[in-house]
Structure 1
Amino acid sequence: MNNKKIKNDLNHQAIGAIRYIGLKAIQEAKGGHVGMTISAAPITYTLFTKFIKLNPQDGKWINRDRFVLSGGHGSMSLYPIFYFSNLLTLDDIKKFKTEDSKTPGHPEYENEADNFIDASTGPLGQGFATAVGMAIAQKHISNKLGKYSDLIDNFTYVVCGDGDLQEGITYEASAIAGKYELNKLIVLHDSNKYQLDSSVEKVSIENLKQRFESNNWNYLKCSNDPKEIEAAIKKAHSSKSKPTFIEVETIIAEGLKSQSSNKGHHGVVNDDDLDQFLKYHHLNFKDWNIDSKIIEHFQKNVADRGNKEVQKWNSKLNKAIKDKEFHELWNTLVSSIDYEKLFANIKISENNLATRVYLKTFLQSIKDFNPFVIATCADLVSSTNVAITEETILENGQSLPIGIREFAMGAIINGISLYAKGAKAIGGTFLVFADYIKSAIRLGALMKTPSIYAFTHDSYLVGGDGPTHQPYDQLPMLRAIENLNVYRPADEEELRYALIAAFNSFTYSSAIILSRQNIKSLNSTIKHSDIEKGVHIVKECKNPDYVIAASGSEVQLALQVAQDIENIKVISVPCLDLAIQMSEKEKNKHFKAKKLFLTLEASADYKWFGLHLNHQNNYHIGAYTFGKSMDGDLLYNQKGFNKQSILKLLKKYN
């Protein structure tokens, strides 16, 4: 194409505008990821001007196409599109990477109508797996809507980089996507062949075509020409039973002196760099000015096209909701429903069991209450009881067998939870394997997703499976995460209210810690207000000499001690996170003791010291060492969790 044709080619000028404004913003921020800003721009441009349907008035419209920039460092290949489409302002662009801006360094999800980011990304690989969760939710919800399935027919698009594909989570997630035939999932690979430290070939010999085709994906390859990208996406749309992976061959930092090298991944931009870029691409932009024809092009093909899609969809919805049965189902999907109505009325037929056992009864009751909830488990349903139906989502059930893929499970749960209010997801594994999922839990909490995890086999009492399966260091890790409430119920009633709190949440994630060993039921009445404060008084005493606060199995140990001590108060703390947030006045009301306040938990969590009060004696018994392969009760005793040791301690404070 000669220079005159290039200057008159609207696609070329529009892509150039994305790249140029991105580089200007990076210059303003004194540094950024120039490589993907340039290389991914033709991909994001083609997606948003030709395919992605969105609602310019509501970034959280339920049937929007989801877009996940898994290579989140390439955010400046996305933000300029939002600016040109009147979804962001120029001032927003200029505030790139500044405090409280709408253009952070990596895309950040907020559940607000003016936020057009579908998932927070940056930790490589997680965006890919989160998008798999979104595609699962779309397929499951569409199936549940029956004859109205076309009301949820969106695609989920991912743009990923070479680094994303090297993360193990993408192997896990791509296997699941192929297994569940997620044909509305399309991944576009910005294949620029370089990363921060090196070229891709220096660290990888992988054949991507073989990798994805072996996992039941379509594999396509094209150049960075928008017409070729468009043709590949159209071909992907025709897939009936497979997700599609499109490798787009791009050039990192094209037009800069760092082009085609790892130095093009991240850099500082000066005026000379911009001049060189403009000259290389035959562009004529200056300052922050973009030709009005380009702006009009984006507004017509992104915003205006989106408005038309919304109008057509609203017309279909208005007809469908005249069907009373569908209307009720739709409200379950899009409205806040109160799970207390469900869980509060569940009858438990047998007491004094492991808390994991009761979970099965509670979860199975969800089937007729909300068909959009999905339960998944890392190949441990028989041990954790994290299941709603025996039928999988491929059989129109509510079970998502995921294999031994804990990390991907966490990200997929986030993706499902982000999809719609009614699209709740709960996942399960052993507590000791929470380490595998931690990064996904953290990212979900950052996004304020209502993701739910059930972690069983909670302490040394696991016994003969040994130290590899005996958790003591996972609870402090989980409780250190902001916006994640960790519940460790002491019996079925505390579990009931933990589940109510977790399923009713729309602003925080929840982890529910459950025992493998049987626990004696407390047979006490719990008020919802107790759980909201994170505490539950199980043995009251006015003006006590001793107060013991514990969680889970250790509550029973505290009650055993109380049998031999007069004037003692015992408090269960099913949610330490909430208890610590109590005012000093409330803490004094609960934990004030004349002789000693003792906190007790078989974990290494020092957060218990947050309950200790000034001007009184406080003591904490925790667990700080690996266990052994031996009888669980004997090991528990050996680690100091026994009645005799605690009574001996209390006598020191007489």
Structure 2
Amino acid sequence: PEVRNLCGELIAAKKAEAALWNEKFTAFKASSSAELQSTLAALLQRSVPSDILARLLKAVPAKETATRNSGGEIMQVAAAAVPALVGGSADLNPSTKTYLKGLGDFTPANRSGRNIHYGIRELGMGLASNGLALSGTAIPFSSTFMVFADYMKPALRLAAIQNLHEIFVFTHDSIFVGEDGPTHQPIEQLAMFRAIPGLTVIRPAESYETAHAWAAALQAGGPVILCLTRQNVPNLPADVVPRIALHRGAYVISSDADFELLLMGSGSELSCAMGAAELLRQQGHKVRVVSMPSWELFEKQPAEYRESVLPASCSRRAVVEAGSGFGWERYVGSQGLILGIDHFGASGPYQVLAREYGFTAEGVCNNVRKFFGL
């Protein structure tokens, strides 16, 4: 009885506090300008404009760049369109490119700032971001290097359990970090993300896909991880850009009639798959190339769509992704080839690592020919 009584008293006290707060908030809204009331409504509803993708696509750089760079430019447009977007990084804004320009820093003296300086506290950052999402007034983001996501695992898991609408931006997403070496080169992190139920993982191939990825993340309603590159990557051909279907998780980049080979790629390795396909075509082979930035979005598609992208009739399948190959078996099948990295990397320029580990058009082409006996 004592415990029951104590809990009842606490509940009654908290209800009284909530009622008082709501009374003050109602009075505040009533005395506010129409502009402030509109902003408050957008915050409380966490509104995202219906044309958000079109707005974000206007921010895509014309030149070849890293997806962390294009992501940083796209974020500025997103923040202007979505007042609820707020967040920060674990002391890595200059590298992750996630600082919201002109929107101030959140400090004891400035509670309107939308940039939060978390310091080198990845777990604390993730949990604080979860709290912001639980408040119901923010779509929070947090960012760091992908390899440091290990420190955030409990926060990622809790975000998924609670289906919190937040965005985790992990840059430097592969061994192509380069000279920092194995301690900073993620290998198993993508597999970890994909193993957590309820997380949507998106690894865009280039700047236009990155705009689509940000639009998907803002509209998701649950936790999303964006995996972005440190190194520059080529943009998709102009004829492909209007056909980008990242919201479906995977889509056809190019396809020959009666294709005999199917090459898949995610992130920066999509360009390797595309280059390898051209080499294989020059040798008389018919190829389909598929961009697959998100398993989770793909699995939500109707069976008919999934079959149209990855038809069962084609068993000669290969995937290219610079990380652990764990899990790709479900898409390449028992007769397929996984071109991944199931060991730690090495210190060196990323171009050298790409060549040594076979992540070039020539390397992929040669490995595909050898594996399938072409």
Same fold (TM over 0.5): yes
The one-letter amino acid of 2:227's match is I
Partner residue of 1:525 out of 236, 241, 253: 241
Q: Does residue 59 of structure 2 align to residue 347 of structure 1?
A: yes
- Per-residue CA deviation, residues 568-626 of structure 1 (Å, 9 max, x unaligned), is 11111111222244455433321236561111211114222222357xx4221111101
Aligned counterparts of 1:583 and 1:620: Cα–Cα separation in 2? 25
Q: Does residue 90 of structure 2 align to residue 378 of structure 1?
A: yes
Partner residue of 2:44 out of 311, 327, 334: 334
Aligned counterparts of 1:380 and 1:624: Cα–Cα separation in 2? 28
Q: Does residue 219 of structure 2 align to residue 498 of structure 1?
A: no
CA-CA distance at 1:642 after TM superposition: 3.0
Partner residue of 1:359 out of 71, 77, 102: 71
Q: Does residue 139 of structure 2 align to residue 419 of structure 1?
A: no
For 2:357, the equivalent position in structure 1 comes to: 639
For 1:544, what is the secondary structure of its paired residue?
coil
Q: Is the 8 A contact 2:29 2:37 kept in 1?
A: no
Q: Is the 8 A contact 2:89 2:98 kept in 1?
A: yes
CA-CA distance at 1:377 after TM superposition: 0.1
Give the TM-score normalised by the residue count of structure 1: 0.52
48 and 383 in structure 1: CA distance in 2 versus 1, 3 angstrom threshold: same
CA-CA distance at 1:432 after TM superposition: 0.3
For 2:126, the equivalent position in structure 1 comes to: 410
For 1:565, what is the secondary structure of its paired residue?
helix
Q: Does residue 103 of structure 2 align to residue 388 of structure 1?
A: no
Q: Which runs of 5+ in 2 are unaligned?
A: none
Which one scores higher on RCO, CA 8 angstroms, separation ≥ 6?
Answer: 2
For 1:511, the equivalent position in structure 2 comes to: 225
CA-CA distance at 1:452 after TM superposition: 0.6
CA-CA distance at 1:454 after TM superposition: 0.6
Aligned counterparts of 2:94 and 2:26: Cα–Cα separation in 1? 46
- Per-residue CA deviation, residues 1-46 of structure 1 (Å, 9 max, x unaligned), is xxxxxxxxxxxx6x3435xxxxxxxxxxxxxxxxxxxxxxx5x555
- Per-residue CA deviation, residues 18-77 of structure 1 (Å, 9 max, x unaligned), is 5xxxxxxxxxxxxxxxxxxxxxxx5x55543334547xxxxxxxxx4xxxxxxxxxxxxx
CA-CA distance at 1:632 after TM superposition: 1.8
- Per-residue CA deviation, residues 454-502 of structure 1 (Å, 9 max, x unaligned), is 1011111111100000001100001111111000000111111111111
Partner residue of 1:485 out of 190, 195, 200: 200
Q: Does residue 206 of structure 2 align to residue 457 of structure 1?
A: no
- Percent identity reads 26
What aligned pairs does 1:607-622 form with structure 2 within 5 A after superposition?
A: 607-612=327-332, 617-622=335-340
For 1:518, what is the secondary structure of its paired residue?
coil
Partner residue of 2:344 out of 610, 613, 626: 626
CA-CA distance at 1:320 after TM superposition: 4.2
Partner residue of 2:35 out of 309, 316, 325: 325
Q: Is the 8 A contact 2:279 2:362 kept in 1?
A: no
Q: Is the 8 A contact 1:587 1:611 kept in 2?
A: no
What aligned pairs does 1:294-309 form with structure 2 within 5 A after superposition?
A: 306=19
More deviation in 563-572 or 593-602? 593-602
More deviation in 423-432 or 349-358? 349-358
Q: Is the 8 A contact 1:367 1:398 kept in 2?
A: no
For 1:564, what is the secondary structure of its paired residue?
helix
331 and 587 in structure 1: CA distance in 2 versus 1, 3 angstrom threshold: same
For 1:554, the equivalent position in structure 2 comes to: 269
Partner residue of 2:306 out of 580, 587, 592: 587
- Per-residue CA deviation, residues 550-580 of structure 1 (Å, 9 max, x unaligned), is 1001101011111212221111111122224
The one-letter amino acid of 1:569's match is R
Q: Is the 8 A contact 1:343 1:362 kept in 2?
A: no
The one-letter amino acid of 2:149's match is A
For 1:607, what is the secondary structure of its paired residue?
coil
Q: Which runs of 5+ in 1 are unaligned?
A: 1-12, 19-41, 55-63, 65-305
The one-letter amino acid of 1:510's match is V
482 and 633 in structure 1: CA distance in 2 versus 1, 3 angstrom threshold: same
For 1:358, what is the secondary structure of its paired residue?
helix
Q: Is the 8 A contact 2:200 2:297 kept in 1?
A: yes
For 1:602, the equivalent position in structure 2 comes to: 322
Q: Does residue 362 of structure 2 align to residue 651 of structure 1?
A: no
For 1:438, what is the secondary structure of its paired residue?
helix
The one-letter amino acid of 2:59's match is K
Aligned counterparts of 1:332 and 1:315: Cα–Cα separation in 2? 16
Q: Is the 8 A contact 1:488 1:575 kept in 2?
A: yes
Aligned counterparts of 1:519 and 1:309: Cα–Cα separation in 2? 50
17 and 349 in structure 1: CA distance in 2 versus 1, 3 angstrom threshold: closer
543 and 336 in structure 1: CA distance in 2 versus 1, 3 angstrom threshold: farther
- Per-residue CA deviation, residues 117-162 of structure 1 (Å, 9 max, x unaligned), is xxxxxxxxxxxxxxxxxxxxxxxxxxxxxxxxxxxxxxxxxxxxxx
How many residue pairs are counted as aligned between the two chains? 359
The one-letter amino acid of 1:549's match is M
For 2:252, the equivalent position in structure 1 comes to: 537
CA-CA distance at 1:333 after TM superposition: 1.3
551 and 349 in structure 1: CA distance in 2 versus 1, 3 angstrom threshold: closer
Q: Does residue 306 of structure 2 align to residue 574 of structure 1?
A: no
For 1:438, the equivalent position in structure 2 comes to: 153
The one-letter amino acid of 1:640's match is G
Q: Is the 8 A contact 1:494 1:526 kept in 2?
A: no
RMSD between aligned residues = 2.4
Aligned counterparts of 1:558 and 1:538: Cα–Cα separation in 2? 10
Q: Is the 8 A contact 1:339 1:500 kept in 2?
A: no
Give the TM-score normalised by the residue count of structure 2: 0.88
Q: Is the 8 A contact 2:133 2:166 kept in 1?
A: yes
